[in-house]
Chain A
Amino acid sequence: MSVLSVRDLHVAFKETRAVRGVSFDVPEHGTVALVGESGSGKSVTALSILGLLPSNAKVSGQVRFDGKDLLQASRRELRALRGAGISMVFQEPMTSLNPVFTIGFQIGEALREHLALGRRQVRARVLELLGEVGLADPAAKLERYPFQLSGGEQQRAMIAMAVACEPKLLIADEPTSALDVTVQKQILDLIAALQARRRMAVLFITHDLALVSQIAERVVVMRQGEIREQGPVKEVFGTPRDQYTRMLLEARPRIDAIRTRRREAAPVMLEARGLAKSFDGVAAVKGASFSLARGRTLGLVGESGSGKTTLGLMVTRLHAPSAGELRFHGEDAGAMPRLAFKRRVQIVFQNPYASLNPRFSVGATLTEPMRLHGIGADEGERRALATALLAKVGLPADALFKYPHEFSGGQRQRIAIARALTLGPELLICDEAVSALDVSIQAQLLNLLRELQDETAMSYLFISHDLAVVKSMADEVMVMKDGEVVEMASAEEIYAEPKHPYTRTLLASIPR
């Protein structure tokens, strides 16, 4: 028995057709995962079920719930259904909660809207719900505002709000994508527990394939508005029939994959001892020490607030360390002249949409470092060098005259890498360089980085929150938590025999 039946759903905005003829079912008490990369139309599909799309959306098709077609329902019927029969949890809990009302009020609002309960009953119910979703000290949380809660707590509050009126179907739109890996696992467990206890159906939208096998029985794979494949998870993942599904499955780096590593010894080029950084008395990094050999990759793993980005910025001297020293081939990095240092260490940032100056053409971005450092005798020579760099990262020569907005996220990261290479650095810091990209693009960029390393013997400091990605790239891995390095070991050791409890929690949280 299906609790939700979607038939031939079409959604179009002014010029784009976001969803093109999508049909699937959600069985009663079951979990269906809706998977796709950005632009696949998965979120639009979810929003259209409850009629939450903006007014310029043109929707057609059938969405049957409880015997009624929701697309034909009146406004009052839809309102009665929202939050009661079907409810929804969104990706960004911070902005999805009203900042000026307490969470007790907001959760209570859902109850007051659909059930006829008195004030004291509502308050009691809310306290119950807060406890059920695992929030510590519910009575205190009742009076808290959203900004006073952590990301995980906010999401729990949102879930409490969603299940308050015992819905038959819960739609979760990327509920964990904005959260740290360890918190993610907790939220997923919570949703699973709630589902079991209340016998809800869940429609789970995500871009992360690994999550799917953990939580869903059925999966629907979408691409550019169409369904490519759907069926029971074991079948689709075990024997994928569609090419796109296969590509998605292969692109994800697997934590248990083994990478052939170079065994010959290499000279140490970077040494850090006791690096520390404080901002206004708050310590972001508390004494990190490590070394990096030529042509090797040191992976740096941590969740938000661990200090990994600050450490990376210290190595590039964009932040001056509060304490400790950094040595390059034995030379003190702090004593080196600024421009000379920049030629040896470069960095690629996380956000491809923010790391290139939108007003500079690609050519200008690439030739600027050359001009500042006196590389290339004239503009013509510099442009030739830039073209060569573009070729190295797999971009055509005419990209020189284009502007960043004409490129995709993955292409922009390639341009950023090319820029980093203009000065021929020995060390490249990759600060979450692939984290903002779709899985398929990620794989391509990681390959590119590996090729470049083989070619130029550059060393990498690879920073990421994603242990699987780090393991596929790094020779050695450092794990950071709250500003401290809690464990450092070779990539295989970290995986096979994690010593620190935090490392173990991190590994356990990774969905596979």
Chain B
Amino acid sequence: MSSYLIRRLWQFVPTLLGVVLLVFFLFNWVGGDPAYILAGKIASPELIENIRRSLGVDQPYWVQLWIFVKQVATADFGVSWSTNERVSQIFATRLGPSLTVLVPLLLISTTLALAAAMLVAYYRGSLTDRGIMIACTVGQSVSILVYILLLQYWLAYQLGWFPVQGWGSTLGENLLRYAALPTLVGVIVSLAPDIRLYRSFFLDEMGQDYVRTARAKGLGEGRVVWLHVLRNAAIPITTNVMMQIPGLLAGAFLIERFFSIPGIGREVILAVERSDFPVIKAVTVYVAIATMVVNLLADLTYRALDPRVQLK
């Protein structure tokens, strides 16, 4: 087991190197000369040269790459170009708010989606099944932007049930007041695709031979579905849920931006709007690492759930 772990951790290296190369290629090569961006519209040539030197972009490419690699290794990406805040500091403070929305979001949406998916898979072809599936299809065709805008306008602005935007100071206040509407929006948006996916997992399992054997043994439908089928479907479902986590970290940025939640996602959007390269680079690298770690955890969980899988 430990040899498997070590081997997997080793495999991080080429992937991380690839990510570093990709980010470097994008920002240091393709990206516009940052000096012009930072200097503003009217700038003298000396000012631009100064900025260039302070950023280190007057060096040849391979030196810049080495600097970047060092930054990644030491987890120190310098300071934000717009706020001058240390990038690592930015992360430390923004992670909390992001998680305050993400964790409840993941828990609630997964539970609801599983229950709904099990229901429609069991009664496949029935009116309920088809109705819910059509509702999912239509629901998915409306952009997340519309959901955010409309729900924010209606529930918060018009009806005043939730605060329109903002963030509090204590965890409790945040969870109950400020995170409520964002979480609700997030759940609504992720329900439709999740239900469709989990439904297909359940259908796959329900068509297997062992289900017939279980019935032939005289087991009741409840036990067949909730024990035999669910235990098998849990394997792809758990893997799927875990794989969603890195995507959620960055993908909740629209929600964070509209609700003014000081999380990582909002930071990313602001950085992109301001061409704040250090922040974007750092976020990309961090999230890449997080994704690799989560994938490894997902594989280990898969192994724990499925006895057939043998780690090589």
Show the binding face of A for B, using Cβ within 8 Å.
Answer: 50, 52, 79-84, 87-88, 90, 92, 95-101, 109-110, 113-114, 145, 147, 158, 161
Q: What are 25 A-B pairs at a CB distance below 8 A? A: A50-B216, A52-B215, A52-B216, A79-B218, A79-B219, A82-B215, A82-B217, A83-B216, A84-B218, A90-B209, A92-B209, A95-B210, A96-B212, A98-B210, A98-B228, A98-B231, A98-B232, A100-B231, A101-B231, A110-B217, A113-B217, A113-B218, A145-B307, A147-B307, A158-B213
| In the complex with contacts A96-B213, A100-B231, A101-B231, A82-B306 CB distance below 8 A | no
Looking at B213, B220, B306, which has the most chain A CB atoms within 10 Å of its CB? B213
Docked CA distance A326–B180 (Å): 75
For A87, A101, A147, the residue with the greatest tally of chain B CB atoms inside 10 Å of its CB is A101
Residue contact B308 to A145, C-beta cutoff 8 Å: yes
Among B213, B218, B220, the residue within 8 A (CB) of A97 is: B213
Cα separation A147 to B306 with both chains bound (whole Å): 11
B248 CB within 8 Å of chain A: no
Q: How far is the CA of A109 from the CA of B220 in the complex (A)?
A: 12
Given contacts A100-B235, A100-B307, 17 further A-B contacts (CB under 8 A): A52-B216, A79-B219, A81-B218, A84-B218, A90-B209, A95-B210, A97-B210, A97-B213, A98-B228, A98-B232, A99-B306, A100-B306, A101-B231, A110-B217, A113-B218, A145-B308, A147-B308
Q: Knowing A83-B217, A114-B218 are in contact, say whether A96-B307 is a contact too (CB < 8 A).
A: no
Assuming the contacts A92-B209, A145-B308, A147-B308, asked whether A99 and B232 have C-beta atoms less than 8 A apart, the reply is yes
CB of B84 within 8 Å of the partner chain: no
In the complex, the answer to whether B210 meets A99 with C-beta atoms within 8 Å is yes
**How many whole Å from B201's CB to the nearest CB in chain A?**
14
CB pair A109–B217 under 8 Å, yes or no, is yes
CB contact under 8 A between A95 and B209, given known A100-B231, A100-B306, A101-B231: yes
Q: Which residue of B lies closest to A145 (CB)?
A: B307
A100 near B232: Cβ-Cβ < 8 Å: yes
Complexed CA–CA distance, A88 and B213 (Å): 8
Shortest Cβ distance from residue A279 to the other chain B in the assembled complex, whole angstroms: 15
Question: Known: A90-B212, A92-B209. Is A99-B307 also a contact (CB below 8 A)?
Answer: yes
Q: Is B298 engaged at the interface, CB distance under 8 Å to the other chain?
A: no
For the complex formed, measure the closest distance between the CB of B31 and the CB atoms of chain A, giving whole angstroms. 46
Known contacts: A95-B208, A96-B210. The answer to whether A110 contacts B307 by CB under 8 A is: no
User: Residues of B contacting A81 with CB < 8 Å?
Assistant: 218
Q: B214 contacts the other chain (Cβ, under 8 Å)? A: yes
> A92 to B209, alpha carbons, bound, how many Å?
8
Give the CA-CA distance A99 to B215 in the complex, in Å.
16
B227, chain A: closest CB distance, angstroms: 9
Q: How far is the CA of A158 from the CA of B214 in the complex (A)?
A: 11
A110 and B306 contacting across the interface, CB-CB below 8 Å: no
> In the bound complex, what is the Cα–Cα distance between A158 and B306 (angstroms)?
21
- Chain A residues whose CB sits within 8 angstroms of the CB of B235 once the complex forms: 100
B305 proximal to A (CB < 8 A): yes
**What is the bound-complex CA distance between A84 and B219, given in angstroms?**
11
Q: Which of B179-229 contact A (CB under 8 A)?
A: 208-210, 212-220, 228
Q: B216's closest neighbor in chain A, by CB?
A: A88
Shortest Cβ distance from residue B51 to the other chain A in the assembled complex, whole angstroms:
58
A114 vs B215: C-alpha distance in the bound complex, in angstroms? 13
> In the complex, how many angstroms separate the beta carbon of A78 from the nearest chain B beta carbon?
8
Q: In the assembly, what is the distance between CA of A84 and CA of B217, in Å?
A: 8
Complex Cα spacing A147 to B209, Å: 15
Docked complex: B216-253 residues within 8 A CB-CB of A: 216-220, 228, 231-232, 235
Contact across chains for A82 and B218 when beta carbons are under 8 A apart: yes
A207 to B262, CA, bound (A): 70
Distance in angstroms between the alpha carbons of A52 and B215 in the assembled complex: 8
Contact A99 B308 (CB under 8 A): yes
Contact residues in B for A100 (Cβ distance below 8 Å) = 231-232, 235, 305-307
**Complex alpha-carbon distance, A80 and B218, angstroms:** 6
A79 touches B210 (CB 8 A): no
Q: How far is the CB of B101 from chain A (nearest CB, A)?
A: 34
Complex formed: what's the CA distance from A446 to B212 in Å?
A: 37
Q: Which residues of B contact A97 (CB under 8 A)?
A: 210, 213
Residues of A within 8 A of B306 (CB): 99-100
| Assembled-state Cα–Cα distance A110/B215 (Å) | 10
Contacts of A161 in B (CB 8 A): 213, 217
Q: Note all chain B residues with C-beta closer than 8 A to A101.
A: 228, 231
Measured CA separation A198–B111 after assembly (Å): 48
- Contact A87 B209, CB 8 Å, known A100-B232, A101-B231: no
Cα-based distance from A90 to B210 in the complex (angstroms):
10
Which residue of chain A has its CB nearest to the CB of B215?
A52
Q: Which residue of A lies closest to B124 (CB)?
A: A55
- A109–B308 contact, CB under 8 A? no
Roughly how many angstroms separate A262 CA and B307 CA in the complex, as a whole number? 56
Tell me if A87 and B216 are in contact (CB < 8 A): yes
A79 contacts B231, CB within 8 Å?
no
Q: Report the nearest A residue to B235, measured CB to CB.
A: A100
Give A161 to B217 CA distance when docked, in angstroms.
Answer: 8
Residue of B nearest to A92 (CB): B209
Q: Determine if B218 and A83 form an interchain contact, defined as CB atoms under 8 angstroms apart.
A: yes
**Cβ–Cβ < 8 Å partners of A83 in chain B:** 216-219
CB distance from A477 to the nearest CB of B (A): 36
Hey, what's the 0/1 contact readout for B31-71 against A, CB within 8 Å counting as 1?
00000000000000000000000000000000000000000
- Closest CB in chain A relative to B188 CB, distance in Å: 33
Report the minimal beta-carbon distance from B311 to chain A, rounded to whole angstroms: 15
Q: Quote the shortest CB–CB distance from B223 to chain A (angstroms).
A: 8
A230 to chain B, nearest CB (A): 25
The answer on a CB contact under 8 Å between A113 and B219 is yes
The interface residues of chain A lying within 8 Å CB-to-CB of B231 are 98, 100-101
- With both chains docked as a complex, state the minimum distance between the C-beta of B233 and any C-beta of chain A, in angstroms: 10
Chain B residues with CB below 8 A from A113, complex form: 217-219
B57 to chain A, nearest CB (A): 50
| Nearest CB in chain B to that of A91: its residue | B209
Best-surrounded residue of B210, B231, B232 (most CB of chain A within 10 A): B210
Asked whether B218 lies within 8 Å of A98 as measured between CB atoms, the reply is no
A100 to chain B, nearest CB (A): 5
How far in angstroms is the closest Cβ of chain B from A141?
Answer: 14
A110–B231 Cα gap in the complex (Å)? 18
Q: Which single residue of chain B is at the shortest CB-CB distance from A78? A: B218
Give the distance in Å from the alpha carbon of A193 to the alpha carbon of B307 in the complex: 33
Q: Which of B266-312 contact A (CB under 8 A)?
A: 305-308
Contacts of B210 in A (CB 8 A): 95-99
Q: B235 → chain A, closest Cβ, in Å?
A: 8
The list of the 10 closest CB pairs from A to B, nearest first, reads A83-B218, A82-B218, A83-B217, A95-B209, A98-B210, A145-B307, A96-B209, A88-B216, A96-B213, A110-B217
* Contact indicator A90/B213 (Cβ below 8 Å): yes
Bound CA span A107–B93, Å: 54
Bound complex: CA A88 to CA B210 (Å)? 12
Residues in chain B near residue A96, CB distance under 8 A: 209-210, 212-213
Closest chain A residue to B207, Cβ basis: A54
Candidate in A88, A96, A97 with the most chain B CB atoms within 10 angstroms: A96
Complex interface: chain B residues within 8 A of A110 (CB): 217-218
